């Protein structure tokens, strides 16, 4: 369903096809948003044949893979819709290319920032203002990251609907005006070292050679693997909030949100304001009361505005008659082909969509990849200045071979320009 209020469509709707069926789409929104607006939650099937649908809404889970105009395995949550597009559900992605293409382009800069969330944009703005040639890469359609979740190009609003949107718009404008180059739709897939970063930018494989690397890749929501969590119609709370805030859509009419923390309450209020029905909010923490006076005092002193926001959200939900089940937890998702509700410790709740939000994990993959690459280089240097290294299962681009090759010395192209500790000397 399309949510009401907050913004209006920026352009007239266009028609696209999903599995042969014509549906309406707004130019500038993601395929996942178009499908959610049409109430379609199952988009692919796993190897077992079980249906799957968008889960994280942020490019992490790969459960939203569809074929787009014949191109297989495109992430529906990160692919922009275009008029006349032919989107098809696809079986388990056996046909994904085993290795990304070799870089066709190289780019140098003073600082490469990965991630255009609040952290990445702030750093890029300050670096560019100080005179550094700064490039920011982000795989999402628009800069802003998880906190700002900017309004998508499909939506127009005369005034930014709330404080969070306004702060995001200001930071994005400052970052763009500072001279930093912000590239969206750019997925960084490997870090061979701080000075060799591989990314897919607009479909092209590009190797970035920055003098300094700044990772601001944020976090993703941890899945809560309870029975039924892979059913279409089950999403993370952040994924659901992204659809509601950025695209003004909800994938169903009746929604139950289970998890812990203010994101659940905020998402529930935003969906409620847009016309969705919130069946319940299941909060793992106990209802704040006198028994928790120490925690309340500590939080109140540390972040008074956050505490007031929380109290306002709870009041609003209670006023609208939404049950908040304090101290309760999701146990099982109900349904066989798609989510039909949630069983908590205390009760059964019928719903079309179940959102789960039980905490975040930092996106540290690139940091870890870079550390491995540095260690490899350090090892190369320790074993003679011929810059040879013994990594038989990696080729010169650092890609893993499917077959282990016999152990032999290989020239270590990547070792150039690094000191004994693997630090970039250029
Ligand atoms: C789903 C979700 C929802 C959240 N919602 C809220 C909220 O409503 N309120 C709140 O206060 N906090 C929220 N948070 C917490 C949030 O992490 C912080 O508030 C804040 O957004 C962190 O800023 P950041 O710049 O560090 O990271 P982020 O805002 O997460 O930005 C990181 C950026 O890096 C990009 N990126 C990551 N890896 C790559 C890669 N390999 N290639 C290219 N780009 C990459 C991502 O696309 C993303 O845009 C949320 C977190 C998550 C995960
Ligand atoms: S990758 Fe698209 S929903 Fe997770």
- The total of structural domains in the chain comes to 2
Q: Which atom of ligand 2 is nearest to the CA of 78?
A: 2
Task: Decide if 213 contacts 237 (C-beta within 8 A).
Answer: no
61, 113: one domain: no
Q: Is the residue at 54 inside a domain?
A: yes
Give residue 329's pLDDT.
96
As a residue count, the chain comes to 426
Q: What is the pLDDT along the chain (426 residues), one digit of tens a residue?
A: 999 987 899 999 999 999 999 999 999 999 999 999 999 999 999 988 999 999 999 999 999 999 999 999 999 999 999 999 999 998 876 555 556 667 788 999 999 999 999 999 999 999 999 999 999 999 999 999 999 999 999 998 876 678 899 999 999 999 999 999 999 999 998 888 778 899 999 888 899 999 999 999 999 998 889 999 999 999 999 999 999 999 999 999 999 999 999 999 999 999 999 999 999 999 999 998 888 888 888 988 998 988 899 999 999 999 999 999 999 999 999 999 999 999 999 999 999 999 999 999 999 988 887 666 665 554 444 343 344 444 434 444 444 444 444 434 344 444 444 444 444 444
Task: Decide if 218 contacts 116 (C-beta within 8 A).
Answer: no
Pocket test for ligand 2, best of 77, 146, 187, 246 (most atoms within 8 A of CB): 77
156, 53: one domain: no
Let me know the angle formed at the C-alpha of 183 by 59 and 69, rounded to the nearest 5 degrees.
55
| C-alpha Rg value of the chain to the nearest Å | 23
Q: Which atom of ligand 2 is nearest to the CA of 54?
A: 3
* Domain that includes residue 132, residue range: 105-220
Q: Is the residue at 165 inside a domain?
A: yes
Q: Is the residue at 253 inside a domain?
A: no
pTM score of the predicted model: 0.85
Pocket test for ligand 1, best of 30, 146, 266 (most atoms within 8 A of CB): 146
Q: Residue 80 has what DSSP assignment?
A: B
179, 132: one domain: yes
**Helix, strand or coil, per DSSP, at residue 401:** coil
| Alpha carbon nearest to ligand 1 atom 26, residue | 218
16, 62: one domain: yes
Q: Is the residue at 15 inside a domain?
A: yes
Give the tokens for residue 61: 């889970």
Instruction: From 89, 121, 155, give the residue that closes a domain.
Output: 89
**What's 18's domain CATH number?**
3.10.20.440
Asked whether 137 lines ligand 2 (CB < 6 A), one says no
**What's 171's domain CATH number?**
3.50.50.60
Instruction: From 190, 220, 250, give the residue that closes a domain.
Output: 220
């Amino acid at each position: 369903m399309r949510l009401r209020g907050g913004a209006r469509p920026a352009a007239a709707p266009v028609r696209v096809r999903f599995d042969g069926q014509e549906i309406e789409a707004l130019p500038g929104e993601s395929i996942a948003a178009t499908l959610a607006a049409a109430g379609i939650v199952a988009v692919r099937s796993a190897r077992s044949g079980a249906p799957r649908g968008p889960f994280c809404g942020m490019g992490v889970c790969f459960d939203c893979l569809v074929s787009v105009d014949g191109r297989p395995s495109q992430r529906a949550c990160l692919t922009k819709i275009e008029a006349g597009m032919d989107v098809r559900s696809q079986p388990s992605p056996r046909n994904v290319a085993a290795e990304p293409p070799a870089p066709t382009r190289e780019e140098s800069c003073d600082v490469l920032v990965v991630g255009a969330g609040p952290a990445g944009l702030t750093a890029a703005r300050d670096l560019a203002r100080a005179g550094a040639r700064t490039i920011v890469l982000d795989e999402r359609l628009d800069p802003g990251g998880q906190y700002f979740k900017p309004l998508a190009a499909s939506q127009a609003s005369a005034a930014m609907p709330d404080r969070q949107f306004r702060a995001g718009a200001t930071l994005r404008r400052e970052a763009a005006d500072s001279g930093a180059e912000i590239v969206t739709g750019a997925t960084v897939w490997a870090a061979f070292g701080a000075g060799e970063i591989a990314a897919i930018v607009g479909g092209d494989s590009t190797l970035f050679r920055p003098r300094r690397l700044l990772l601001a890749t944020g976090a993703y929501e941890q899945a809560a693997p309870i029975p039924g969590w892979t059913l279409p119609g089950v999403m993370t709370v952040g994924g659901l909030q992204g659809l509601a805030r950025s695209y003004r859509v909800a994938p169903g009419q009746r929604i139950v949100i289970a998890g812990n923390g203010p994101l659940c309450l905020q998402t529930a209020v935003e969906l409620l304001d847009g016309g969705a029905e919130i069946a319940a909010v299941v909060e793992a923490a106990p209802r704040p009361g006198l028994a928790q006076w120490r925690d309340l005092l500590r939080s109140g002193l540390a972040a008074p505005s956050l505490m007031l926001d929380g109290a306002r959200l709870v009041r609003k939900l209670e006023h609208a008659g939404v049950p908040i089940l304090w101290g309760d937890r999701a146990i099982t998702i109900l349904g066989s082909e798609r989510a039909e509700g949630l069983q908590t410790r205390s009760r059964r709740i019928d719903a079309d969509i179940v959102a789960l939000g039980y905490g975040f994990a930092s996106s540290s993959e690139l940091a870890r990849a870079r550390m491995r690459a540095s260690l490899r280089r350090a090892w190369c240097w320790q074993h003679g200045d011929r810059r040879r290294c013994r990594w038989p299962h990696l080729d010169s681009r650092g890609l893993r071979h499917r077959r282990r090759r016999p152990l032999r010395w290989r020239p270590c192209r990547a070792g150039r320009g690094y000191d004994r500790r693997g630090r970039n000397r250029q």
